[in-house]
Every structure is written in C-alpha cells, then in structure tokens.
Amino acid sequence: MRACNASSRRSLLILAFGLLILLVASLTQAQDGGAAITDDQVNAIARQMFCPVCENEPLDVCMTAACIRWREDIRGQLAAGRTESQIIADFVARYGERASATPLDPTLRGLSVYVPWLIAGALLLGGVGVFWRWRSTQRHVPTAPPADHPPVEAADEAAYRATLERDLKD
C-alpha cells in the first residue's frame, strides 16, 4: 500500500514537473512569438491600408499618432496569430471600407477593380466595330497616298530614302 502510494506520488510529481515544463515552454513560445513580430511584417500589412486621418496616405508610411496606434494594433493582432486578411477585415469592420486600399465588399470591389476591364473590353469592341464601319465607308475615298507620296513596299535603300523623304516633309 505504501509502495503504491510512493509510486503514485512519484507519478504525480513527474506529471506535475512535466506540466510545469510544458507551461514554461509554452509561455516562452508565446513571448518569443510576440517578440518575433518585426516592423517589416507590420508594414507589409499596413501597406495595403490607408491612414484614417490623412487622405490617400498609405498606413505604412504615415507618421501621425493615429497611424502609429493602428500599426501597433496590427502588431498585436499578428502576435495573436491572426492572418493578413483577418486583420484587414477587422479594420474594415471597425472603420469602414476606406481603411483598405482595395474594397473588401464584393460589390464595391467589383465596381472598382473589374469595371475598368469591362470598359476596356467595351471600348475595344466598339473600336473594332467603328474601324470596320469606317473601312467600309471609306472604300470610295482614295486609300493610296497622294501623288507626291508614292507607296513604298520594297526594303531597299532607295525605298527607304523615299519613305524618309516623306517623313522629313513637315
């Protein structure tokens, strides 16, 4: 019975010691994790956000007190293990879409980022349409250069000189 008690006491001690080591190790790990957040990591996220005070000033370069607080907030969130997108989403939730350099709301994101491509596509299609229409309406207009501007197809010296001469006539 005594041997059993001694054995269980020893087991308890080993367990307690093990837990202590685990606790110390995890505390050290947590502290290390906090200290390991560098300014560069903070700035990498801050670069994708805007200063809450100055218009259109990226957060990573702004030196106002508000921006310094925000960067420390980012550092804290990084230390707590949050990801880049979670941190930006948190700022947007608290301060609005203006906090982010690219809107997170899908509608606003679509409006801002995809609309230029849609406009460009429409312009391109419109341009191609106008070009073909123009070509068809211009068929009756002379397409050859004027009389003093002979067409140049050959790449020899004389042809190049003729082309150059046309270019030089201002």
Partner 1 sequence: MLAEVGLAALALAFGAATYAVIAALWGALRHREAFIISARNAALLVFPLTLGASLALLIALMTAQYQIAYVWQVTNPNTPDFYRFTALWGSQSGSLLFWNLLMSGFSFVALLINWNSNRRLMPWFIVYTMAVSAFFLGLSLLLENPFARIWIMPDGSVAQTVFIPAGAEGPSAVRLAATARGLNPLLRHFGMIIHPPLLYLGFVSFVIPFAFAMSALASGDLSTNWIKAARRWALIAWLFLSLGLLLGGRWAYDVLGWGGYWGWDPVENAAFIPWLIGTAFLHSVMIQEKRGMLKVWNMFLIIFTFSAVIFGTFATRSGLIDSVHSFAQSSIGGAMFLFWAAVTLVSVGLTLWRWNRGELRSEHGFAGLASRETLFVLNNVVFVALALAIFWGSFGAPILSELVFNTDISLGASYFTQVTAPLFAAMYILMGIAPLSAWGAGSAKRLGRAMVVPFGLTLIALLLIGIAGTRGGGALFAYGIVMLSGFVALYEIGRSGAARARATGENIVQATIALFGRNRRRYGGFIVHLGITVIGLGVIGSTLFQAETQQTLRPGEALQFQDYSMTFQGIDAGQIAEDGRFMDIANLTLARNGAQVASLRPRHDIYPSTEGQQGMTMIIPGSYSTLENDFYVLFVAGQADGSATFKVYINPLINLIWWGGLILIVGTLISAWPAESAPASVRERRRAKPTAAGVVA
> What is the contact surface with partner 1 in residues (CB under 8 A)?
38-40, 43, 48, 50, 55-56, 58, 61, 63, 68, 96-98, 101-103, 105, 107-108, 111-113, 115-117, 119-120, 123-124, 127, 131, 134-135, 138-139, 141-145, 149, 151-155, 157, 160-170
CB of 106 to partner 1, least distance (A): 12
Nearer to partner 1, 34 or 145 (CB): 145
Minimum gap (Å) between residue 80 Cβ and partner 1: 21
What do you get for the CA distance between the two ends of the chain, in Å?
115
Q: Which is nearer to partner 1, 49 or 77 (CB)?
A: 49
Which is closer to partner 1, CB of 10 or CB of 161? 161
How many whole angstroms separate alpha carbon 93 and alpha carbon 99? 9
Alpha-carbon separation of residue 82 from 90, 114, 120, 132 (angstroms): 10, 29, 38, 55
Q: In the bound complex, what is the minimum distance in angstroms from residue 165's beta carbon to partner 1?
A: 4
Closer residue to partner 1, CB minimum distance, 3 or 158: 158
Other C-beta atoms closer than 10 Å to the C-beta of 48 total 18
Q: Which is nearest to 34 in space by CA: 90, 4, 77?
A: 77
Residue pair 124/111 in contact by the 8 Å Cβ criterion: no
